[in-house]
Structure 1
Amino acid sequence: MPGLVNALVIVAVAAIVIARQFRARAINTDRRWWLLPVILAVVALREPGILDAHHRVESAALLAVELLTGLATGAGWAWTTRIWTAPDGVVWTKSTKASGAVWALGIALRIGVYGIGAALGLHQDSSALMLGLAGTLLVRGGILVWRAQSFGTANRPAPAYGDGMRSVRRERA
């Protein structure tokens, strides 16, 4: 059952992330952008079946390839994301068509890794895929925050309605 739960978590996180990536969003470098990837990594690493007990070396090699694929996908995704500063100084981000191509390539590479593992007769747990997704999100978030900080104003929150208006003092009766 944990394999099914892991698969559902992977699909849900990937769907949310992919759906949100094509909407413009303000970047706030103060928030905990690393929290979701860390949670995914902890969930993945708590599973005992991340390596095949009968083929440790081969499954470790495939896990390393999965992690490298995840890291490369995250870096490609971050560098193909458009970042700009609005007139109010808030830094915004939105993925491009090239970001979608990076995702498609990452998914194709992961399918290839799974196919190689199946051809070698290795037991592959969903934990490796979840760990790769955690690496993707961690690298992407880190690069985007780093790029946003280079704009210099990403720490400032977006102004709320009424900011900058003069205050009116109350009259005493």
Structure 2
Amino acid sequence: MTALANVLIALVVVALVVSRQLKARRLDTERRFWLLPVILAAVALRDPTLIDHAHRTTAVVLLGGSLVTTVAMGCVWGWTVRLWRDEAGALWSRGTRATLFAWLGVIAVRIGWYGAGAALHVHQSSDALLLSLAGLLLVRGLVVNWRAQNVERPHTLAA
């Protein structure tokens, strides 16, 4: 895919995910939260220029560092989501103000990695953005689903 297409895909996914996260939504832990990250990763890994062959070691370190920090940010993001059960026992989630700041942090980190690559004259494929987004969404989903297992049902008073 072209760089513009990858950036547009990433922007659409981010806009969709952020808008959904900031609204209270019923959480379905049986949902295939991993499907979108797998698709994004598959698209990204098809790119033969994901690693700059002229600067292979530096490119691998940059991509690896980017993925590690993005995955860490996915953990942070997963912990910023508020989880609760309603009276019927249904599980709900909603992003908080911290969720929005986590997203801003992810964007800042991503820009920082691109800046480091540019300073080192390493070509960075736009597919690295899709791969990072895949890792971010996957880890966030894992954290939220793990946390959801520990959300207690509301206590009801015996009649």
Same fold (TM over 0.5): yes
Verify: 1:135 aligned to 2:135, yes or no: yes
- Tell me if 1:49 matches 2:37: no
Distance 1:152 1:35 in 2: 27
Whether the aligned pair in 2 keeps the contact of 1:84 and 1:91 (CA below 8 Å) is yes
Instruction: State the 1:39 CA deviation.
Output: 0.5
Q: What CA distance in whole angstroms lies between the structure 2 residues aligned with 1:109 and 1:33?
A: 24
How many Å separate the matches in 2 of 1:49 and 1:105?
A: 27
SS at match of 1:32: coil
User: Residues of 2 paired with 1:43 and 1:50: CA distance?
Assistant: 11
What is the Cα deviation at residue 41 of structure 1? 0.4
Q: Is the 8 A contact 1:85 1:92 kept in 2?
A: yes
The answer (yes or no) to whether the contact 2:67–2:132 under 8 Å persists in 1 is: yes
Contact 1:26 1:91 in 2 (8 A): yes
Contact 1:69-1:132 within 8 A present in 2 as well: no
Residue aligning to 1:167 = none
Aligned-residue sequence identity (percent) comes to: 49
Partner secondary structure for residue 54 of structure 2: coil
Matches within 5 A, 1:16-165: 16-151=16-151
Paired residue secondary structure (1:83): strand
Unaligned runs of 5+ in 1: 154-173
Q: Distance in 2 between matches of 1:56 and 1:114?
A: 16
Structure 1's consecutive aligned runs of 4 or more residues displaced over 6 angstroms after TM superposition are none
* In structure 1, distance between residues paired with 2:70 and 2:64: 10
Q: CA deviation at 1:151?
A: 2.7
Q: TM-score, normalised by structure 2?
A: 0.92
Bigger Cα Rg: 1
Larger helix proportion of the pair: 2
Distance 1:25 1:57 in 2: 43
Pairwise CA distance, 1:2: 2.1
| Cα deviation, residue 152, structure 1 | 6.3
User: Counterpart amino acid of 2:65?
Assistant: V
RMSD, aligned CA: 1.2
TM-score (norm. length: structure 1): 0.85
Which residue of structure 2 aligns with residue 157 of structure 1?
none
- Indicate yes or no: 2:15 matched with 1:15: yes
> Across the two proteins, how many residue pairs are aligned to each other?
153
